[in-house]
Structure 1
Amino acid sequence: MTSRVTFVSPATSPSLRQARFYGGDSIDDVGAAHARSAAGSLPAPARVLVAPSVRCLQTAEALGLDGVEIPELKGLDVGRWSGRTLEEVGAAEPEAVGRWLTDPGWAAHGGESVRDVCERIGGWLDTAQDTEGRTVAVVEPEIVRAAVVHVLGLPAAAFWRLDVPPLTATELSGRTGRWNLRLGRPLAVSPDGWTR
């Protein structure tokens, strides 16, 4: 039995454009338009799953996907940094930001560590591998990073070395405890040539 999971990153939002830790904002008008133009670009799934965040839910809707919210696929909890820009946090807590970017087990911001999110998503993928057919999951970029870390057996520190552009698909196919990976396929190309 082969299981296929396609992770789709959300469309652009103000927090993404401002390098702000996600705090619950909606996708912006440009992101919504790009997602609507990409509707129908994914292979037909057997199931659609959505992370419980506003921008993932709105991206799924704009893509024409009717999905089920899955709490295990929620984004990385950054605690008190939520809604703040990296620049703001870096100015207020430079040592904490430096530690967060170098120590995957650190979570003194009051949220979840990078190692914890990688383990959470790895556990979810281990059970998803027993699911026949194609799953499309609209998730936050850090969930895609955690999945890549897991399927390639990378150290958790590699998490920050992975970029996940908005509105791209990262495809996994697997069976018998092994996943294959196809990274960052754009869902569509806009008329102005911008790939997302």
Structure 2
Amino acid sequence: MTVRVMLISPAMNTALREARFAGDATLDASGVRAARQAAPSVPHADRAVHGPSERCARTAEALGLPSVAESALRDWELGRWAGDRLDEVSAREPEGVAAWLADPAAAPHGGESLLALCARAGVWLDSLNGAGRVLAVTEPSLVRAAVVHALELPPQAFWRLDVAPLTLTELSGRSGRWNLRVGRPLAGGPGGREADGDAP
């Protein structure tokens, strides 16, 4: 059975605005407002889940989703770098950052390597066989890792993927063969619910 997996990145918060590593915080006022405005364009799903972070939970709430937390969708575990900005870590541990960016198996921060992150995203994605339409509010790192796994891209492609707040990434297929649908905004008008055929 074909599965459709719809991944929504969380709305803006302070940590995202400041580009901090795995910096969890609740949504700021503009993030809540944007998520509420996007709620009418969220597609229908048979099952809704969200990452365990505060920003994912609050985004799901603002979108009006009756979702449950899914631990497999937690943010990239970056050990002692969590909460810091890249420029701070680069000044403190330049060799560690260089290794982390160049080697997908490196984990100088003491957390997950890029390979481990992509593997975790892949295990979750491939566990969804027969699940119908699944909607997940999840971290940008998980969206990127899921795309790398689904399309069998080299791990380094992770660094070339950008995931903006409140955007929808869609994967359809099944374990071993996934298709990617890109470019769909979470907003009314073209690309919204009507374009997807989900309108009543």
Q: TM-score, normalised by structure 2?
A: 0.90
Contact 2:22/2:76, CA 8 A, preserved across alignment: no
Matches within 5 A, 1:87-166: 87-131=87-131, 133-166=132-165
CA RMSD of aligned residues (A): 1.5
Per-residue deviation, 1:15: 1.1
- Alignment partners' CA distance in 2, 1:12 and 1:104: 27
- Alignment partners' CA distance in 1, 2:136 and 2:174: 18
Closer, same or farther: CA 156–176 of 1 in aligned 2, 3 Å: closer
Q: Which residue of 1 aligns with 2:72?
A: 72
Task: Answer with 151-160 or 177-186: which moved more.
Answer: 177-186
Q: Which segments of 5 or more consecutive residues in structure 2 lack a partner in the other structure?
A: 189-200
Contact 2:47/2:67, CA 8 A, preserved across alignment: yes
Closer, same or farther: CA 40–178 of 1 in aligned 2, 3 Å: same
Matched, 1:62 2:62: yes
- Alignment partners' CA distance in 2, 1:176 and 1:125: 8
Q: Is the partner of 1:112 in helix, strand or coil?
A: coil
Moved over 3 A (4+): none
Deviations 1:125-147 (A, max 9, x none): 1111332x211000000000001
Per-residue deviation, 1:97: 0.9
Q: TM-score, normalised by structure 1?
A: 0.92
Q: Is the partner of 2:89 in helix, strand or coil?
A: helix
Per-residue deviation, 1:184: 4.4
Q: Which residue of 2 aligns with 1:185?
A: 184
Letter in structure 1 aligned against 2:69: E
Query: How many residues align structurally?
Result: 189
Matched, 1:171 2:170: yes
- Alignment partners' CA distance in 1, 2:48 and 2:105: 31
Contact 1:5/1:134, CA 8 A, preserved across alignment: yes
Letter in structure 1 aligned against 2:146: A
Q: Which residue of 1 aligns with 2:12?
A: 12
Identity of aligned residues (%): 56
- Alignment partners' CA distance in 2, 1:75 and 1:24: 9
Contact 2:16/2:23, CA 8 A, preserved across alignment: no
Contact 1:3/1:175, CA 8 A, preserved across alignment: yes
Q: Is the partner of 1:80 in helix, strand or coil?
A: helix
Q: Which residue of 2 aligns with 1:192?
A: none
